[in-house]
Amino acid sequence: MGRGKPVRFGDHVFSTKKSATEAIRIVLYRYAIGQAVNDEDSTFLFDLIQLHPEAEQKIGGGIASFSVEQNDGSRGFWLTRVDGSRTDWSFLACLAPPTSEQEALAGFRSAIRDQIEAFRVSALARSDLRCAVSDEALSAKNIHIDHDPPFQDLLLGFLTQRGMQLALVGVKPTTDGSTVTELADDELRALWTEFHRTNAGLRAVTRKVNLGTLRRAGARSPA
């Protein structure tokens, strides 16, 4: 199997996407949440963001500074423009711009996020909560919510029922500071959330099970 194409931005050259990702993550985790990025790392990030598929929109009138912020449970890079406006930006999009299918999938996932969170809260209210697969004790620190059958199978059933293709489902344009991808069609979103509420089988599992055993067995991804 080939090693893949080198990744180049500015004066930086990485032999693989993996090595580039590792270098970027070192910068991402070098700072506390809310902390500004130093000059050297800012130069690195400025070169990197040129690869973003929406680089012109993200940069706007110019970048004054970069920082690391909290994004829906994970950390991510933000920038502040010279006019004082701020926005998030994904370094993963710089290395591999998302396909139309990936964008649509993210939109469908975000549409049912409140259902997943409600299930999580309800599950954690139990004092005897255990993993549905490994029977390990669960807590707020190690709980993941899994779809059974898998999320992709549920979504395929919904799309098939409506005669739709994932790649043709649109999402709303990017806006400053929006870290969530949303479906463009509000009616479709409502139909999907109701379908998910009626048909999804949710269960509580450990993070290790969801990202390890289940992913290897059925290519699941976290809810």
Looking at the structure, do residues 72 and 131 belong to the same domain, yes or no? no
Of 58, 74, 95, which residue is a domain's last? Answer: 95
pLDDT of residue 58: 96
Q: Is there a domain that residue 223 lies in?
A: no
Looking at the structure, do residues 199 and 114 belong to the same domain, yes or no? yes
Q: What is the residue-level pLDDT of the chain in tens, covering all 223 positions?
A: 345 689 999 999 999 999 999 999 999 999 999 999 999 999 999 999 999 999 999 999 999 999 999 987 789 999 999 999 999 999 999 999 899 999 999 999 999 999 999 999 999 999 899 999 999 999 999 999 999 999 999 999 999 999 999 999 999 988 888 888 999 999 999 999 999 999 999 999 998 888 865 554 444 444 4
Of 36, 61, 95, which residue is a domain's last? Answer: 95
pLDDT of residue 219: 43
Taking the C-alpha atoms of residue 211 and residue 223, their distance in angstroms, rounded to an integer, is 11
Looking at the structure, do residues 193 and 105 belong to the same domain, yes or no? yes
Confidence (pTM): 0.78
Of 218, 157, 222, the residue nearest 192 (C-alpha): 157
pLDDT of residue 215: 54
